[in-house]
Amino acid sequence: MQLRGIDTNLVVALRALLAHRNVTRAGKAVGLSQSSMSHALSRLRAHFDDPLLVPVGRELVLTERAKELVEPVAEAIAKLERVFTPPAAFDPKTSRRLFRIAATDNLGLYALPKLAAMIQKSAPAIDIRVSALPADWSTALKRGDIDLKLGRKYAVDAALESQDLSEERFGCVVRRGHPARSKPSLEDYAALEHLFVATSTESGAGSKSTVDAILAKHGLRRRVRMTVPHFLVAPHVVASSDLALTAPLRLLAPFVKSLGLRKLELPFELPGYVLSQVWSTRSSHDEAHRWLRGEVVRCFSSAPK
């Protein structure tokens, strides 16, 4: 049945009439005069082609059709109330919300531990599901498969919103005791044996072709002796070999101390990039989602640079 042309206020009147079985009392229950409720009853009788309430002695009783309507009308009203009742204010301390985040592995490596520590204290019942960044993350956001994308900044269409988190710069590291000079020349850098992180999605590692193009302008080539698919393993490979790794400084920072890596000054300017978080516009005004985005911003405001 089409709702077009039906006064939905009649649903409220019908519930009151079925519950009170009295026009006057039903009117008082919903704030209508006796005449207004009588008019509503007339319209309902015409709609259902049934008297609904019939006099038996000095009382009104429900017809068989009216009895059939009691439960579905109550369910319909309950659903409408859930739809139109404002949601309870979001409280991270009590919310049991589940958030799904897709992130590049290098970004997740230094941001997610901070996020976990934050929600452990402020949002003990909130769950986070982190997945690898899908190639078509834009569609995943629009479909609602993920709630938030963390990674390199790209232009997004009108169905998505983006917020800058941090600017990423690059550096180079080698193992402690490596014979390379701390400020190598362009020729010295090219002569090193290199490790490259080749992820299947946006890596943020600095394009291999970008570095090679810079060297090529000076008539130089470097040897990439090994490639690995993930950032997590790269610093450990460097720590146990003579390979040099050029990667985001924010990623390298914790390993310089824990693995005893040594930083080298790049002999050329390698363009950086911006990290951002992206979400669907339908989540922009969701109080819980705003809270999550705020926590992510806090992660980057305190993350090592």
β-pair partners for 247: 171
- N- to C-terminal Cα distance for the chain? 61
Share of the chain above pLDDT 90, in %: 74
Q: What is the pLDDT of residue 105?
A: 79
Cα separation, 7 vs 1, whole angstroms = 13
Digit-coded pLDDT (tens) for 288-302: 999 999 999 999 885
pTM of the model: 0.70
**DSSP for residue 89:** P
Instruction: Report, as an integer, the average pLDDT of 39-57.
Output: 94
Digit-coded pLDDT (tens) for 80-114: 888 888 777 899 999 999 999 999 877 888 788 99
Digit-coded pLDDT (tens) for 184-203: 999 999 999 999 988 765 54
Instruction: Report, as an integer, the average pLDDT of 51-64.
Output: 92
Digit-coded pLDDT (tens) for 1-26: 445 667 778 999 999 999 999 999 99
Q: What is the pLDDT of residue 204?
A: 44
What superfamily does domain 170-271 belong to in CATH? Periplasmic binding protein-like II (3.40.190.10)
Q: Give 276's Cβ-side CA count (13 Å radius).
A: 15
Cα separation, 11 vs 7, whole angstroms = 8
DSSP-derived pairing of the beta strands 170-174 and 262-264: antiparallel
Please, which residues have CB within 8 angstroms of residue 141's CB and are 6 or more apart in sequence? Answer: 147, 149, 160, 278, 279, 280
* CATH topology (fold) of 9-84: Arc Repressor Mutant, subunit A (1.10.10)
Digit-coded pLDDT (tens) for 124-174: 999 999 999 998 999 999 999 999 999 999 999 999 999 999 998 999 999
* CATH topology (fold) of 98-167+275-302: D-Maltodextrin-Binding Protein; domain 2 (3.40.190)
Q: What is the pLDDT of residue 207?
A: 53
β-pair partners for 62: 53
Mean of the per-residue pLDDT values for the chain?
90
Q: What is the pLDDT of residue 201?
A: 57
Helix or strand run (H / E) with residue 163: strand 160-168
| Every domain of the chain and the residues it spans | 9-84, 98-167+275-302, 170-271
Report, in angstroms and rounded to the nearest whole number, the Rg of the chain calculated over CA atoms. 32
Higher-confidence position of 111 and 268: 268
> How many CB atoms neighbour CB 171 within 10 A?
20
Instruction: Report, as an integer, the average pLDDT of 206-218.
Output: 83
Two domains, one topology: 98-167+275-302 and 170-271:
yes
